[in-house]
């Protein structure tokens, strides 16, 4: 981070030292109570012969220490707000402590807390220290036995169930794990039960636990779990390793979900789904997150991280694995496009602003602030590049070696790269820069053609980022194909390795000057800079065999149209006809055609302008995007009705890839159609909709053209009792509000009786939706900034983790005009001066102010 050096609380990777003891076993007893939950711990410590000796320090925060003993004798540790130290014997000893904590008062949703009468935990990254005193660091792994005492009917923890009776249950987890994977759930819950037999014959009882009333929303989560378990066996040879696997849905949760060993805990929005309450996108998200958490069982749990700087070791890899899974389930082409959109919209923004940090950061103040798109998504991209460079077989050998060599360990990025070097013989010294250098590389490509020889000259530059003024060239795999002027492919996809700052690649024996298809499949997370000749994009849209680059060509054309509008120029007349031709092509799957209809986001346009040394004006960008949509709607007028009709399907809802593809094309068409038909089709679809996908698409299409008041009211009345659907009601209207109305609407909705600001999903549904409506949020009055700052200050008092995450809405401030910059700067200053500001939010604001 930029000014880590100035914050005394900064923790550095270079300061890593191992914990001086090994733990031979942990016994925990919980006597649950809303206030004064009693946690009795019994931990057997033994000096680690391989670690240098050091002081006995246990983390602990917001705990009341009732008593402590060593080998049965009372001791009096020195207690600070961060933990305790104590004199201990030189040999092995048993530590026992009784502490109390108050789940009912825990609004941070870290550690042990209560959500609607249900006890649950969130320990990653450093929540366990809010439960009891413990060496709360990922490199300390131990076998846990847990006894829960409570009158609540369902008592769950990690591992396998042992004994249970009225008022208690015990669980034993045979796999050594770090404390961040600990979990406990107690409540009045009901379950959907199922089972799975692993390929070596282990019978596993599966349970998906929800509050009564949600039973009807469990089936898809369970299907997704079984599909994930099968897939990990087939694709990675990884089997499940306990007799039970439980998933629990919780309404109050800071993130999507958590991979606690044998007891995954999910934000209810990431696990519950039924046709009438969840959209296709929700179904896909549930499938993806279930897979992600399940895959962590090997990449994260069996092999964990030595320290939190290595976070991407588990998160980047697990995201990469869930991407492969979703690709297998739903098509690799659309999946890749979706991932690229996310990366460009969010990760590139992060990587090019004040919060930029490497995939492996070197310092942090609050680790929760590093659960970022860079750690997750760029981390996954880095693994994708590695796989491209060593090939599928090399990747498989390296992964087998990784699981073999590091099972049961807390590993590092060095360990990870070493298995690739050992398995493939490749030197990865330069490749490792992807882990240490922040910033999105720019690859400039120029071409020449002479005497049958085609040459590509590539230059890479990596812009400076906070704390990293100078960069070295990286290894960039550039997947390339060449097409003949008649559209035939003359060079099938070939991976060029760009390793120098400047490098040329030549291709001989070509009969005609080829058309290049560069960075196929988005083969590296870079920005391609190229002045493509007139007509090339339309040519690639028609002929490229690479699905990603065909979509990219459509994006290029759309970007040009947006630029033309912004600059008051005419939109290229060939754009709409070339797009229409692709949309009519029945050889293209509906999902692929739907993707072709998507415009780059306003955020992407802002980034591109900034890259061109122009100051992006969010309002002007919004109007340009709107004008381009109108242009498209007019130009595709004859085609859109039939595309929309194709999305109507008889019979019951099914979330299979084919049906989803048809609906997404139909609804993309509807969105445009509503610009020219006074919302007639959308209103009809809303009235007839038999499932949430069709209903939300229709409502969104109406709201996007300033209609839908009546439908919005009906939607609220119909779904007033369903909190997940109500979140959609909040976020849709704010996200799609006209720029001049968005802030006032968001403000009004924060006064709505259903606005429960302590619930992270609901807070995000209003304030997060405002931040995702750039023209609304960046209203020149500064009212959006003020509203968000007010709410962040308030939320920070209850839930610093969520407040800090949401503060990233301000991270693009330096690329705005001076007036907006001044407005944001004063809001950031106001936040910084708020009394009692958390470490989480103060780190974020400090980094953004820079
Ligand atoms: N490991 C979880 C996942 O990616 C995320 C947990 C994040 N927790 C946090 N406190 N930041 O699946
Ligand atoms: Zn994860």
Answer yes or no: do 466 and 608 share one domain.
no
Answer yes or no: do 724 and 828 share one domain.
yes
Q: Are 361 and 13 spatial neighbours (Cβ–Cβ below 8 Å)?
A: yes
Ligand 1, residue 257: give the atom nearest the CA: 12
Question: What's the residue count for the chain?
Answer: 850
The whole-angstrom separation of Cα 68 and Cα 146 is: 19
Our mutation pick for probing the ligand 1 site, out of 258, 261, 293, 844, counting the most ligand atoms within 8 A of Cβ, is 258
The whole-angstrom separation of Cα 544 and Cα 580 is: 16
Averaged pLDDT, 208-217: 98
255 lines ligand 1 (CB under 6 A): yes
For tokens 């339309």, name the residue.
Answer: 538
Assign 807 a pLDDT band (cuts: 50, 70, 90).
very high
Answer yes or no: do 694 and 830 share one domain.
yes
124 lines ligand 1 (CB under 6 A): yes
Angle between helices 311-330 and 413-424 (to 10 degrees): 60
Answer yes or no: do 453 and 411 share one domain.
no
**How much is the pLDDT for 816?**
98
Assign 3 a pLDDT band (cuts: 50, 70, 90).
very low
Q: How far is CA 655 from CA 395, 788, 808, in A?
A: 32, 36, 33
296 within domain boundaries: no
Averaged pLDDT, 215-220: 98
**How much is the pLDDT for 1?**
42
771 lines ligand 1 (CB under 6 A): no
Report DSSP state, residue 474: -
The answer to whether residue 293 is catalytic is yes
The whole-angstrom separation of Cα 136 and Cα 123 is: 9
| Whether the bond into 125 is cis, omega within 30 of 0 | yes
275 within domain boundaries: no
- Its domain, for residue 58, covers 11-269
Pairing of strands 142-149, 21-31: parallel
Q: Over the stretch 75-92, which tens digit does the pLDDT of each residue have?
A: 999 999 999 999 999 999
Ligand 1, residue 292: give the atom nearest the CA: 12
The whole-angstrom separation of Cα 27 and Cα 144 is: 6
Q: Work out how many domains the chain is built from and give that number.
A: 5
Is the model's pLDDT at 440 over the cut of 70? Answer: yes
The CATH number for 372's domain is: 1.10.390.10
DSSP codes, 161-200: EEEEETTEEEEEEEEEE-GGG--EEEES-EEEEEEEE-TT
292 within domain boundaries: no
512 within domain boundaries: yes
For tokens 């366990």, name the residue.
Answer: 128
Answer yes or no: do 565 and 697 share one domain.
no
- Considering the entire predicted model, what is its pTM? 0.99
The whole-angstrom separation of Cα 289 and Cα 709 is: 34
The CATH number for 226's domain is: 2.60.40.1730
Answer yes or no: do 786 and 733 share one domain.
yes
The whole-angstrom separation of Cα 510 and Cα 494 is: 16
Q: Are 692 and 725 spatial neighbours (Cβ–Cβ below 8 Å)?
A: yes
Answer yes or no: do 447 and 312 share one domain.
no
559 within domain boundaries: yes
CA 570, distance to chain mean position in Å, is 38
Q: Over the stretch 241-285, which tens digit does the pLDDT of each residue have?
A: 999 999 999 999 999 999 999 999 999 999 999 999 999 999 999
For tokens 């990747």, name the residue.
Answer: 395
The whole-angstrom separation of Cα 430 and Cα 765 is: 42
Q: Are 421 and 258 spatial neighbours (Cβ–Cβ below 8 Å)?
A: no
Answer yes or no: do 501 and 596 share one domain.
no
125 lines ligand 1 (CB under 6 A): yes
Task: Record the tokens describing residue 769, joined without a space.
Answer: 């939706």
Is the model's pLDDT at 2 over the cut of 90? Answer: no
Averaged pLDDT, 674-703: 98
Task: Record the tokens describing residue 366, joined without a space.
Answer: 């609050």
2 within domain boundaries: no
Last residue of a domain, one of 617, 651, 666: 617
Q: Over the stretch 524-560, which tens digit does the pLDDT of each residue have?
A: 999 999 999 989 999 999 999 999 999 999 999 999 9
Ligand 1, residue 367: give the atom nearest the CA: 11
Q: In the chain, what percentage of residues exceed pLDDT 90?
A: 99
**How much is the pLDDT for 6?**
72
Last residue of a domain, one of 599, 617, 635: 617
368 lines ligand 1 (CB under 6 A): yes
**How much is the pLDDT for 177?**
99
Three-state SS for 786?
helix
Q: How far is CA 211 from CA 110, 156, 205, 439, in A?
A: 20, 14, 19, 44
The CATH number for 654's domain is: 1.25.50.10
> How many Å lie between the centroid of ligand 1 and the Cα of residue 312?
11
319 lines ligand 1 (CB under 6 A): no
Ligand 1, residue 315: give the atom nearest the CA: 4
Ligand nearest to the CA of 255: 1
Answer yes or no: do 689 and 584 share one domain.
no
Answer yes or no: do 219 and 169 share one domain.
yes
> How many Å lie between the centroid of ligand 1 and the Cα of residue 162?
28
The CATH number for 468's domain is: 2.60.40.1840
Report DSSP state, residue 768: I
Answer yes or no: do 354 and 451 share one domain.
no
Answer yes or no: do 472 and 551 share one domain.
no
> How many Å lie between the centroid of ligand 1 and the Cα of residue 300?
11
318 CB contacts (<8 Å, ≥6 apart)? 292, 295, 296, 299, 300
Angle between helices 818-832 and 839-849 (to 10 degrees): 150
Q: What is the mean pLDDT of the chain?
A: 98
Last residue of a domain, one of 269, 292, 323: 269
Beta bridge partners of 148: 30, 169
CA 471, distance to chain mean position in Å, is 27
Beta bridge partners of 23: 45
The whole-angstrom separation of Cα 435 and Cα 131 is: 33
> How many Å lie between the centroid of ligand 2 and the Cα of residue 213?
28
Ligand nearest to the CA of 259: 1
Q: Over the stretch 613-629, which tens digit does the pLDDT of each residue have?
A: 999 999 999 999 999 99
462 within domain boundaries: yes
Is the model's pLDDT at 106 over the cut of 50? Answer: yes
Q: How far is CA 102 from CA 35, 108, 438, 798, 838, in A?
A: 4, 12, 41, 14, 20
5 within domain boundaries: no
Averaged pLDDT, 155-172: 98
541 lines ligand 1 (CB under 6 A): no
Angle between helices 618-635 and 739-749 (to 10 degrees): 110
Q: Over the stretch 339-360, which tens digit does the pLDDT of each residue have?
A: 999 999 999 999 999 999 999 9
């Amino acid at each position: 981070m930029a000014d880590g050096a100035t914050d005394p609380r900064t923790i550095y990777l270079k300061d890593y030292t191992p914990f001086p003891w090994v733990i031979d076993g942990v016994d925990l007893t919980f006597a649950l109570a809303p206030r004064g939950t009693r946690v009795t711990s019994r931990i057997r410590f033994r000096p680690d012969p391989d670690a240098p000796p050091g002081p006995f320090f246990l983390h602990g925060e917001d705990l009341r220490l009732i008593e402590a003993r060593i080998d049965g004798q009372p001791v009096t540790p020195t207690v600070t707000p961060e933990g305790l130290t104590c004199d201990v014997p030189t040999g092995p000893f048993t530590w026992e402590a009784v502490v109390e904590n108050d789940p009912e008062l825990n609004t941070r949703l870290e550690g042990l807390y209560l959500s609607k009468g249900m006890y649950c935990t969130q320990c990653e990254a450093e929540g366990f220290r809010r439960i009891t005193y413990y060496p709360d660091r990922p490199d300390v792994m131990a076998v846990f036995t847990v006894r829960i005492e409570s009158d609540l009917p369902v008592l769950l923890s990690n591992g396998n169930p042992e004994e249970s009776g009225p008022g208690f249950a015990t669980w034993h987890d045979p796999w050594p794990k770090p404390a961040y994977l600990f979990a406990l759930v107690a409540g009045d819950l009901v379950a959907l039960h199922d089972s799975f037999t692993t390929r070596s014959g282990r019978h596993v009882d599966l349970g998906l636990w929800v509050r009564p009333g949600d039973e009807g929303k469990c089936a898809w989560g369970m299907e997704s779990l079984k599909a994930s378990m099968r897939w990990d066996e087939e694709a990675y040879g990884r089997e499940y390793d306990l007799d039970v696997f439980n998933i629990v849905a919780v309404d109050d949760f800071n993130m999507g979900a958590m991979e606690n060993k044998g007891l995954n805990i999910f934000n209810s929005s990431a696990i519950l789904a039924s046709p009438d309450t969840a959209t296709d996108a929700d179904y896909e998200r549930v499938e993806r997150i279930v897979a992600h958490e399940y895959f962590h069982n090997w990449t994260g749990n069996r092999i964990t991280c030595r320290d939190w700087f290595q976070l991407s070791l588990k998160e980047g890899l697990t995201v990469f694995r869930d991407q492969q899974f979703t690709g297998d389930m739903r098509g690799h082409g659309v999946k890749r496009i979706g991932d690229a959109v996310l990366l460009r919209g969010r990760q590139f923004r992060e990587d090019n602003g004040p919060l930029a940090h490497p995939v492996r950061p070197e310092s942090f103040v609050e680790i929760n602030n590093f659960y970022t798109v860079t750690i997750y998504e760029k981390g996954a991209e880095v693994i994708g590049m590695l796989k491209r460079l060593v090939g599928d077989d090399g990747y498989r050998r390296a992964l087998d070696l990784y699981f073999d060599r590091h099972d049961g360990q807390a590993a590092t990025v060095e360990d990870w790269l070493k298995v690739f070097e050992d398995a493939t013989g490749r030197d990865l010294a330069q490749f490792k820069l992807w882990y240490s250098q922040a910033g999105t590389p720019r690859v400039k490509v120029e071409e020449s053609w002479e005497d049958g020889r085609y040459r590509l000259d590539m230059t890479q530059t990596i812009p400076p980022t906070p704390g990293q003024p100078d960069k070295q060239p990286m290894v960039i795999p550039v997947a390339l194909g060449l097409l003949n002027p008649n559209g035939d492919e003359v060079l099938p996809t070939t991976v060029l390795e760009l390793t120098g700052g400047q490098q040329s690649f030549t291709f001989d024996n070509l009969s005609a000057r080829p058309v290049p298809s560069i960075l196929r499949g988005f083969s590296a997370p870079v920005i391609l800079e190229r002045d493509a000749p007139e007509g090339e994009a339309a040519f690639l849209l028609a002929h490229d065999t690479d699905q990603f680059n065909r979509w990219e060509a459509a994006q290029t054309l759309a970007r040009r149209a947006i630029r033309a509008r912004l600059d008051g120029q005419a939109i290229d007349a060939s754009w709409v006809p070339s797009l229409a031709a692709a949309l009519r092509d029945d050889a293209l799957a509906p999902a692929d055609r739907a993707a072709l209809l998507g415009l780059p986001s306003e955020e992407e346009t802002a980034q591109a302008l900034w890259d061109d040394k122009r100051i992006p004006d969010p309002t002007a960008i919004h109007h340009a995007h709107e004008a381009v949509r109108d242009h498209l709607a007019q130009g595709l007028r004859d085609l859109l009705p039939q595309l929309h009709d194709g999305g109507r399907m008889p019979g019951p809802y099914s979330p299979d890839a084919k049906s989803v593809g048809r609906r997404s094309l139909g609804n993309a068409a509807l969105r445009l159609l509503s610009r020219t038909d006074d919302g007639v089709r959308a209103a009809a679809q809303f009235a007839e909709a038999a499932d949430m996908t069709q209903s939300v698409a229709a409502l969104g299409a109406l709201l996007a053209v300033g209609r839908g008041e009546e439908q919005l009211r009906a939607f609220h009345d119909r779904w007033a009792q369903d909190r997940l659907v109500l979140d959609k009601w909040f976020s849709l209207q704010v996200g799609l509000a006209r720029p001049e109305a968005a802030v006032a609407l968001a403000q009004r909705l924060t006064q709505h009786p259903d606005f429960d600001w302590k619930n992270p999903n609901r807070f995000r549904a209003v304030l997060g939706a405002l931040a995702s409506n750039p023209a609304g949020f960046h209203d020149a009055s500064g009212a959006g900034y003020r509203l968000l700052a007010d709410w962040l200050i308030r939320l920070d008092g209850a839930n610093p983790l969520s407040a800090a995450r949401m503060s990233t809405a301000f991270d693009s401030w330096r690329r705005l005009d001076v007036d907006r910059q001044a407005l944001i700067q004063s809001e950031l200053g106001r936040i910084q001066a708020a009394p009692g500001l958390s470490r989480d939010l103060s780190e974020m604001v400090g980094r953004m102010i820079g």
